[in-house]
Amino acid sequence: MGQPSEDFRAGASAVALPLEIGAPMMGYGARDGGATGVHDPLHARGLYVAGDGSDLLVVAADLCLIGAGQAAALRTRLAGETGLPPERIAITCIHTHSGPDTGLMAFLSGNPPPAHVPAIFDAIVEAGKRAVGTAGPATLAVGHGEAAIGRNRRRPGGPVERDVLALRFDRPGGEPLAVAYTHGCHPTALGHENLAYSADWVASAHAEVEAAFPGAVPIFWLGAHADVDPRSRGLLDLAVAGQSLGVGFDEVAALGREVGREVVRAARDAMPVPAPRVRAGSAQLAVPTHVEDPAQRAEALEALGLPDDAEVGTGELFAMEHERTDRFPIAEKRERLARVRRYLRGRTARHFVGGTTTPDVEVQVLRIGPAELLALPAEATVAVGRDWRARRGPHAAVLSIANGWLRYLPHPRDFDEPDAHHGYEVLMSTLVPDAAVRLLRQGEKLADALAAADR
């Protein structure tokens, strides 16, 4: 990998998350019961890099989701422990649906978290501290691979993200330190029937990296994945029941090995980066949410056969949607469910952003050598990731569920597709249809400002 630059340093860590048997799991509404075991251990994985007078820290947790407020508190804690400012710290989740509940819904409702959650968050902070504390001289190389474990869940033949971006870090003598990689596919091959903790396909991808680079810490950053499921699933259709059933661990492992082998190939073939620059920054952008619409309310009530003066709670509407539409032909059921969900989208949006209709959304840019990572607190679709790469070059990638979760972030092109109003990602978005472009533009301004400071 060549000679290290004088000031490029890196540190990595993997801290096991404490897992409580019997605790609730997160990700599937159809799941019944708490965790009964551990299939593969879960971790918080920290990466600290410093170069050319600046530094940054990313901690990736083997969790489904955390809220923006929860992430902000963790970043503040890490800032106090490490001396890095919060805008140069990122907290990401890999989005496994086989991890522990993080207390997100309790947090959003102003309630204390379940008893098992604080210890999990302590492990995230510990991972960041260890990554910073163990940093030493290092080298960087950047490479790409292609993985094909996913398929578009909105429409047959729809776009998928095949790119695997790999960042390889070695000690000066060639000893492997870490391999960080991005890919855009939900870690949801396991379904709601699974009650064993697992990182899903990511676990076996990590195992491939560990076998190829003994001593290296594998770190996964979830890319633009919102409309891509593992190919073991079919199209996501709200009108079809039982779609969150998964596959067995053998098939999950096979999917992960495919990604892992591409990560290994990309890391082995990666091009060394002389004197890598490290930059990070963040900005807040006010972006409107969807809002509750009286006309959509009337459509939703009519779709469920309810009188227009019915007073029905949000939870009741979710509970009624299938019960009151199952008798209709599939196409009509799909349309009725879409009307209900479109209304609920606006009715619930403020709940996820602190009660306002124009929240400040954080955009963060992390630059490690030639890699420009756009960290967004939402689940970005493939089109969002492709737009960022078109703006910033081949080593650019979106990091989803970074510094919180504001539900789904489709691209305006996703909203414009035929039958887009049937799509889960559109119906589960929080922000207005052009939000992704607003955030991409803000990211571009931030990235340009970071580059201008270098000049």
Give 195-217 pLDDT, tens digit per residue: 999 999 999 999 999 999 999 99
Percent residues over pLDDT 90 in the chain = 93
Give 79-94 pLDDT, tens digit per residue: 999 999 999 999 999 9
Provide the terminal-to-terminal Cα distance of the chain, rounded to the nearest Å: 27
Backbone angles phi, psi at 324, to 5 degrees: -95, 0
Using CA atoms, how far apart are residues 248 and 245, in angstroms rounded to an integer? 10
Using CA atoms, how far apart are residues 63 and 16, in angstroms rounded to an integer? 12
CB 75 within 8 A of CB 106: no
With residue 120 as reference, give the H or E element that holds it: helix 117-133
DSSP string, 120-187: HHHHHHHHHHHHHHT-EE-EEEEEEEE---EEESSSTT-----EEEEEEEE-TTS-EEEEEEEE-S-S
Give 336-355 pLDDT, tens digit per residue: 999 999 999 999 999 999 99
pLDDT at position 2, please?
47
Mean pLDDT for 96-116 is: 96
Percent residues over pLDDT 70 in the chain = 98
Give 216-227 pLDDT, tens digit per residue: 999 999 999 999
Q: Return the domain boundaries, the chain.
A: 9-283+359-454, 294-352
Backbone angles phi, psi at 207, to 5 degrees: -60, -35
Question: Which tokens hold the place of 118?
Answer: 């604080």
Using CA atoms, how far apart are residues 165 and 263, in angstroms rounded to an integer? 8
**Position 454 confidence tier, pLDDT thresholds 50, 70, 90:** confident
HSE at residue 188, side-chain half, CA atoms within 13 A, is: 25
Using CA atoms, how far apart are residues 433 and 291, in angstroms rounded to an integer? 12
Give 2-42 pLDDT, tens digit per residue: 455 568 999 999 999 999 999 999 999 999 999 999 999 99
Q: Facing residues of 48 across strands? A: 11, 57
The predicted model scores a pTM of 0.96
Give 244-253 pLDDT, tens digit per residue: 999 999 999 9
Give 289-319 pLDDT, tens digit per residue: 999 999 999 999 999 999 999 999 999 999 9
Give 354-400 pLDDT, tens digit per residue: 999 999 999 999 999 999 999 999 999 999 999 999 999 999 999 99
Give the number of other CB atoms < 10 A from CB of residue 93.
27
Give 113-142 pLDDT, tens digit per residue: 999 999 999 999 999 999 999 999 999 999
Using CA atoms, how far apart are residues 267 and 166, in angstroms rounded to an integer? 6
DSSP string, 193-226: T--EE--THHHHHHHHHHHHSTT-EEEEEE-S-T
Q: Who contacts 210 (Cβ-Cβ below 8 Å, separation ≥6)?
A: 216, 218
Backbone angles phi, psi at 127, to 5 degrees: -60, -45
Sheet containing 136-137, strands listed edge to edge, beginning at the edge strand earlier in sequence? 89-93, 54-61, 43-51, 9-16, 136-137
HSE at residue 363, side-chain half, CA atoms within 13 A, is: 23
**Position 235 confidence tier, pLDDT thresholds 50, 70, 90:** confident
Using CA atoms, how far apart are residues 135 and 296, in angstroms rounded to an integer? 54
